[in-house]
Amino acid sequence: MAAPKVAVVGAGVIGLSTALCIVETCPSSSVTVLSDQFSPNTTSDVAAGMLIPHTYPGTPIHVQKQWFKDTFTYLFAISNSAEASEAGIHLVSGWQVFKSTPKEELPFWSDVVLGFRPMSEAELQKFPQHRFGQAFTTLKCDCPPYLLWLEKRLKATGVQVYNRKVADLWELHREYDIIVNCTGIGAHQLVGDKKLFPVRGQVLQVHAPWVKNFIRDGDGLTYIYPGIDRVTLGGTREKESWSLSPDPGTTKDIFDRCCSLEASLQEAQDIKVKVGLRPSRQCVRLEREVLSQGGAKLLVVHNYGHGAGGFSVHRGTAKEAARLVGECIVALQGSSSRAKL
């Protein structure tokens, strides 16, 4: 058969990294990216891009750990290369602090990040309201740079990227053989997934270039993540809220919470407020599906629902999605050769 035509729907970190993995592992295929939103207007652009995993209740820990490890290893190599600044990948060290000692003192990812250890008494003195903490070094993917870099690499391999709103996967049936659904929160509408729900996050992006370490409260609600040009201050976790409008009361609350962790943020300048809807689910939907309509079949690979952990596992889930695309290609070739008999 002719080169299988693969359409990846979605151009956030999941869509672009999945497209790249498909190109790498299925070189015979022709890959196109379709999306109605591109950087800097994707959910990924709001995220700080810190490699600190979120735990999915519905996925075995060893699977999540492998996804994280794959992602960390991949980005570690880029951070160490001449492309690091173009790709927006950099190392950052800091502290995760807890008001009360957590049940799990050693998270599953503690041996993947660098130099993980409990904080010393002297370090904890900087956080008088917190009694326990962990120090480590991890990676950060800054957006837009990372998404732009992924897009550049895709285009260099011949992948076409189109601005196109896909309202129904069946629209793509005649033009493409396999659809890869990386639509994030858009999947709620696009494929009617009721298990997918938004968790609204508001963040402030500020100019505070003297802040070089990250600080995160273990409750996940308050964090300070220094990026290349801006520091991301967060945040909120509002389940089932679909509002993309910044809330001024929330802005003040986030700013105050972050200043109580890092007093010098009072001097932060040029505060920009952003909102993103984390595409949340009990587990990432990472599976093949064969849709039927009339006599027609549509091969779909889903890769969405990464919630708060998209950046942390993106490469790992992209690889798995590419593997599933490979299975689809084999299935197509099987059925096309049967058709020839």
Task: Rank residues 122 and 167 by Cβ distance to another protein and give the closer one.
Answer: 122
Q: Are 329 and 302 in contact (CB under 8 A)?
A: no
Is 259 near another protein (CB under 8 A)? no
Q: How many residues form the binding site for another protein (CB under 8 A)? A: 37
**Binder of another protein out of 137, 236, 241, 251 (CB under 8 A):** 137
Is 337 near another protein (CB under 8 A)? no
> Which range, of 18-26, 186-194, 264-272, 274-282, touches another protein by CB under 8 A?
264-272
Task: Rank residues 81 and 163 by Cβ distance to another protein and give the closer one.
Answer: 81
Q: What angle do CA 292, 298, 303 make, to 5 degrees?
A: 115
* Number of CB atoms found within 10 A of residue 280's CB: 21
Of 326, 323, 325, 303, the closest CA to residue 313 belongs to 303
Over the window 210 to 239, marking each residue x when it contacts another protein by CB under 8 A and - when it does not, the resulting string is xxxx------------x-xx----------
Task: Rank residues 11 and 139 by Cβ distance to another protein and give the closer one.
Answer: 139
Q: Are 307 and 283 in contact (CB under 8 A)?
A: no
- Residues placed in the known binding site for D-dopa: 223, 278
Query: Is the bond preceding 235 in cis, omega lying within 30 degrees of 0?
Result: yes
Q: What is the CA radius of gyration of the chain?
A: 21
Task: Rank residues 104 and 121 by Cβ distance to another protein and give the closer one.
Answer: 121
Is 92 near another protein (CB under 8 A)? yes
Q: What angle do CA 26, 87, 74 make, to 5 degrees?
A: 50
Distance separating alpha carbons of residues 245 and 303, to the nearest angstrom: 27
Which positions touch another protein (CB under 8 A)?
79-86, 88, 90-94, 114-115, 117, 119-120, 122-123, 126, 135, 137, 142, 209-213, 226, 228-229, 263-264, 266-267
